[in-house]
Amino acid sequence: MKNYIELLKKYNQEHILKYVDMVDEKKKNDLINQIEKINFEELNKLYEISNRDNTKAIKGIIIEHIPFVDKYKLEKERKETLTKIGEDIIKNNKYAVVTMAGGQGTRLGHDGPKGTFKLDVLPKPKYLFEILAENLLRENKKYGVVIPWYIMTSTENNEKTVSFFEEHNYFGYPKEDIKFFKQGNLPLLSEDGKLLIDENYNIKIASDGNGSIYKSMKNEGILSDMKKRGIEWIFIGAVDNAILNMCDPILLGLTIDEKNEVASKSVVKANPHEKVGVFCKKDSRPAVIEYTELPDQLAEETDEEGELLYGESHIMCNLYSLKALEKIAEQNLPYHSAHKKANYLDENGKLVKSEVPNGYKYEAFIFDGFNYFDNMTILRGRREEDFAPIKNKEGVDSPETAIKLYNEYWKLD
Ligand code: UTP
Q: Using the atom order of ligand 1, give the atom closest to the CA of residue 99.
A: 21
What is the dihedral sign for C-alpha 339, 344, 350, 351? positive
Is the per-residue pLDDT at 175 higher than 90? Answer: yes
In whole angstroms, what is the distance from residue 193 CA to residue 195 CA? 7
Interval 278-303: pLDDT, tens: 999 999 999 999 998 999 999 999 99
46: phi then psi, degrees, rounded to nearest 5: -65, -40
- Under the banding of pLDDT at 50, 70 and 90, the label for residue 386 is very high
Longest dimension (CA), the chain: 72
C-alpha separations of 222 from 84, 157, 173, 199, 214 in Å: 28, 19, 19, 32, 10
pLDDT band at 276 (very low <50, low <70, confident <90, very high): very high
The C-alpha atoms of residue 331 and residue 172 are separated, in whole angstroms, by 37
CA of 187 to the centre of ligand 1 (A): 17
Domain ranges of the chain: 56-412
Q: Which residues line ligand 1 (CB under 6 A)?
A: 100-107, 114, 152, 183, 207, 209-210, 212, 238-240, 316, 363, 391
pLDDT at 169: 98
Please write the tens of the pLDDT for every residue from 36-89.
999 999 999 999 988 776 667 778 999 999 999 999 999 999 999 999 999 999
From atom 1 of ligand 1, which residue's Cα is the shortest distance away? 103
Q: What is the pLDDT of residues 196-229, one digit of tens each?
A: 999 999 999 999 999 999 999 999 999 999 999 9
Q: What is the pLDDT of residue 141?
A: 98
| Average per-residue pLDDT for the chain | 96
Substitution candidate for ligand 1 out of 99, 104, 208 with most atoms within 8 A of CB: 104
Tell me the average pLDDT across 262-285: 96
Find the 239 Cα to ligand 1 centroid distance in Å: 8
Q: How far is CA 387 from CA 189, 209, 242, 261, 358, in A?
A: 33, 21, 7, 23, 31
CA of 114 relative to ligand 1 center, distance in Å: 9
Residue 317 forms beta bridges with which residues? Answer: 237
Of ligand 1's listed atoms, the one at least distance from the Cα of 238 is: 21
Instruction: Name the residue among 115, 105, 226, 117 with its Cα closest to residue 162.
Output: 115
| Bridge partner residues of 149 (DSSP) | 97, 178
What is this structure's pTM? 0.95
Query: How much is the average pLDDT of 307-315?
Result: 97
Q: What is the topology classification, in CATH, of domain 56-412?
A: Spore Coat Polysaccharide Biosynthesis Protein SpsA; Chain A (3.90.550)
Residue 2: is its pLDDT beyond 70? no
Task: Report the nearest-CA residue for atom 25 of ligand 1.
Answer: 102
What pLDDT, on a 0 to 100 scale, did the predictor assign at position 55? 67
Q: pLDDT per residue over 146-168, tens digit each? A: 999 999 999 999 999 999 999 99
Instruction: Name the percent of the chain lying above pLDDT 90.
Output: 92
Q: Please tell me the residue having the least CA distance from ligand 1 atom 14.
A: 238
**Which 3-state string (H, E, C) describes 291-315?**
CCCCCHHHHHCECCCCCECCCEEEE
pLDDT at 59: 84
What is the SS3 assignment for 127? strand
Lowest mean pLDDT among 46-55, 137-146, 238-247: 46-55
The rounded Å distance from CA 165 to ligand 1 centre is 19
Strand residue runs (E) in 191-296: 205-207, 233-238, 262-268, 278-282, 285-289
- 257 CA to centre of ligand 1 in angstroms: 31
Tens digit of pLDDT for each residue in 177-190? 999 999 999 999 99
What gap in Å lies between CA 184 and CA 155, rounded to an integer? 8
